[in-house]
Structure 1
Amino acid sequence: MKKNKILVLVHPLLIPPENAPTIKNKEFEDWSTEFDVISTLENLGHDVLVFGLYKNLEELIETLKSFGPDIVFNLLEEYAGDVNKDAHVVALLEMMNIAYTGCSSKSLMIGRDKSLTKKILAHHKLRTPQFQVIQKKDKDYQIGQRLTYPCIVKCLHEEASKGIGQSSVVVSEEKLRQRVQFIHESIGDDAIIEEFIAGREFFVGIIPGKKAVTLPVWELFFDNSENPEKEFYTNRAKFNEKHRKKLGIRTDVAKLSASEVKAIQKMCLKAYTVLGLDGHARIDLRMDEKGVCSILEVNTNPNIGIHDEYALSANHQEINYSGLISKLLRAGFQRLK
């Protein structure tokens, strides 16, 4: 790949510090993905400029004009604190005819709304848990009769397991209403209630291109848990090093038969296609005790740090990290052609 001028778009608080290369256990730092991507691009010989965007949209436009990047590597997950506005920044790049990595503004808007995603999946006969959305403005709401306990209460728009803890799984209407109130008041988001599926959890990364391809099915393990089928990926399980060691939390290639892998990958590619996605994505699923898989979430522009599931599964397929980053760059250029 030829050397390019690349503007890396990040949240200003996630710009890696100057001493980042000397810090141990970087994977638990908030800026770990940003460091992995930026350092890899630099090691590949690209001319890299890191830009921190919060509300300074005019400054971004001026920088795009003055720096003249060949492509923008988009690591943004919000704009001005609003997770629903990252798609607007991508729309700006589209209007300026600037190449960028990741999903288009349309894909980001679809992927960000878990309710809309589930409705589209269900329409196309792709299994997903029964759900109900409770908006912040809904003060006198009723729980749908189709929902059966246990349920899990999550944020409708937030990602990275924000707001998800052990109390998220509820077995009564009283606890459900308490958790909905927590999402509304403490997180500031609408709530989505889903039937909780006890079982195994999988992740399937998808690499974009003229023909999207799936990465190996990746599985979440709780080696030290007495009831791993009841565990799930809380915020603490993802990012708390001590908690991860205590429960033996790790991810690795899924222990499945070849036919099961093929079926899951086919299911994920269909989901990617019917949702009209066009950038890198990760699809999260759970398999119940009968071996039936349901799609939990479709993550547009998922975390792509070296230690994240997306990159780990790519590496298992003999795509090293530099190769993965280069593939995402090529996909961004291809879209502009």
Structure 2
Amino acid sequence: METLKVTILYDLWEDALPEPEPEPELAKPSRGKKIKPVRKKKDPLHEREEIFNALTKLGYEPAYHVLDGRNQTLLSLAKCSADLIFNLTESYAGDDTMDKNIAAFLEMLHLPYTGGGPQALYLAQDKAIAKKIFDFHKIKTPDFAVSYKGRTDHSHDIKFPLIIKPVSEDGSIGIDSGSVVESVKDLMERIHYIHEEFDSPALIEEYIEGREIYAAILGNESPEVLPLIELDLSKLPKGTPRIAGQDVKFFRETEAYKMTKSAPVEDLDEETTQRLQDIALAAYRALKLRDYGRIDMRLNDKGEVYVIEANPNPWLASTAEFAMAAKKAGYTYAEAIDKIVKLAYSRPA
């Protein structure tokens, strides 16, 4: 059998892009949407190097391919000789709503690739649509409203405290200590901030006080829910909302980052653990996630489970929650990467 050629596909953040060539048709985002400045969410270099090393160790033939927002990189992707694309892209030309378009482009090329398809990437990114789907499937999620510049297109009868965030961002972009509000004045100010800073509808969601639980899932036909991981927010400074904002997740120099750690959950009873895993699996299937994913949940002091969001193609660095869960399940890092490759490659075209 020939060695499988696996190309690791990644994008450059806008602040790392080279000077663009004059291509006005690519510089204009679709439907008049302005390109937002991309907020760095993680260390993509570290992640892709670890995956490259794992693929080499497994006997595959890995290579890199970068999408930098120019025609040439798309054209060369169409001509690449890869047997499989390991898709790590999260944006295109500085627009992080375009990840679904990259997946669609790979499908048009009939190039097998890892992770979520265009449907999953779209459904999971638009948090309001995802929550409506959760409601349909009787998956508990916080009540919410969506507001954009004076227009409300969906609203439950919600009550304070509320958490306000962009409707279509990931990586905790737009979430900080000011996101949780308890008055109409603060609510209106935060909505205005989301509109102005992100040119995005604001998701107004009931704030659920409770434990932050992550369920990593691996598989397609018979997905495996890996051991649960908790992001312990209990040591955040007094008066700080217990939320996983960007400072908690990515800004290593902050007190919030230093005081919060993720670790396997060890103190939940079997019934609660099973309920969390069942709900996570239902959410994974409802949004058509595939190969691997992560479902973020809140467990309150009454034992109620709320799905906050679903993450197709979550971060795969060895220090991230997905790899942490895989390790707890008995997978080495290389074995987890190998499982993802085989799931994607064996999927019918």
**TM-score, length basis structure 1:** 0.88
TM-aligned CA deviation for residue 163 of structure 1: 1.0
1:199 — aligned with what? 210
2:48 — aligned with what? 34
Q: Which moved more, 1:50-59 or 1:190-199?
A: 50-59
* 2:277 partner SS: helix
- For the Cα contact (< 8 Å) 2:248–2:256, is it kept in 1? no
Return the alpha-carbon distance in structure 2 between the equivalents of residues 234 and 245 of structure 1. Answer: 9
Structure 2 counterpart of 1:169, which letter? V
Return the alpha-carbon distance in structure 2 between the equivalents of residues 291 and 71 of structure 1. Answer: 42
- For the Cα contact (< 8 Å) 2:218–2:226, is it kept in 1? yes
Unpaired runs of 5+ residues, structure 1, are 17-26
- For the Cα contact (< 8 Å) 1:97–1:336, is it kept in 2? no
Matches for 1:164-313 after TM superposition, within 5 Å: 164-222=175-233, 224-225=235-236, 230-243=241-254, 248-254=259-265, 255-313=267-325
1:116 — aligned with what? 129
2:167 — aligned with what? 156
2:27 — aligned with what? none
Structure 2 counterpart of 1:240, which letter? F
Return the alpha-carbon distance in structure 2 between the equivalents of residues 314 and 196 of structure 1. Answer: 29
* 2:97 partner SS: helix
Tell me which of 130, 135, 138 is aligned to 2:143. 130
**TM-score, length basis structure 2:** 0.85
RMSD: 2.5
Cα 1:143–1:279 shift into 2, 3 Å: closer
1:20 — aligned with what? none
1:101 corresponds to 2:118: no
TM-aligned CA deviation for residue 57 of structure 1: 4.2
2:330 — aligned with what? 318
Structure 1 counterpart of 2:172, which letter? S
Cα 1:184–1:35 shift into 2, 3 Å: farther
Structure 2 counterpart of 1:3, which letter? T
Unpaired runs of 5+ residues, structure 2, are 17-40
- For the Cα contact (< 8 Å) 1:155–1:191, is it kept in 2? yes
- For the Cα contact (< 8 Å) 1:284–1:297, is it kept in 2? yes
TM-aligned CA deviation for residue 253 of structure 1: 1.3
Q: Deviations over 1:257-278 (max 9, x none)?
A: 1111111111111122222222
Q: Deviations over 1:245-296 (max 9, x none)?
A: 7752111111211111111111111122222222311100001121111000
TM-aligned CA deviation for residue 32 of structure 1: 2.5
* 2:254 partner SS: helix
Report sequence identity in percent.
29
Q: Which moved more, 1:51-60 or 1:149-158?
A: 51-60
1:7 — aligned with what? 7
* 1:164 partner SS: coil
Q: Which moved more, 1:41-50 or 1:67-76?
A: 41-50
Q: Deviations over 1:28-50 (max 9, x none)?
A: 74533223222322333332221
Return the alpha-carbon distance in structure 2 between the equivalents of residues 286 and 207 of structure 1. Answer: 21
- For the Cα contact (< 8 Å) 2:194–2:202, is it kept in 1? yes
- For the Cα contact (< 8 Å) 1:238–1:244, is it kept in 2? no
Return the alpha-carbon distance in structure 1 between the equivalents of residues 63 and 112 of structure 2. Answer: 15
Return the alpha-carbon distance in structure 1 between the equivalents of residues 271 and 73 of structure 2. Answer: 52
- For the Cα contact (< 8 Å) 2:66–2:73, is it kept in 1? no
Return the alpha-carbon distance in structure 2 between the equivalents of residues 105 and 334 of structure 1. Answer: 18
Cα 1:246–1:215 shift into 2, 3 Å: closer
* 1:304 partner SS: coil
Q: Which moved more, 1:293-302 or 1:35-44?
A: 35-44
Structure 2 counterpart of 1:319, which letter? Y
Number of equivalenced pairs: 323
TM-aligned CA deviation for residue 59 of structure 1: 3.1
Cα 1:75–1:140 shift into 2, 3 Å: closer
Return the alpha-carbon distance in structure 2 between the equivalents of residues 210 and 141 of structure 1. Answer: 38
Cα 1:124–1:166 shift into 2, 3 Å: same
TM-aligned CA deviation for residue 228 of structure 1: 9.9
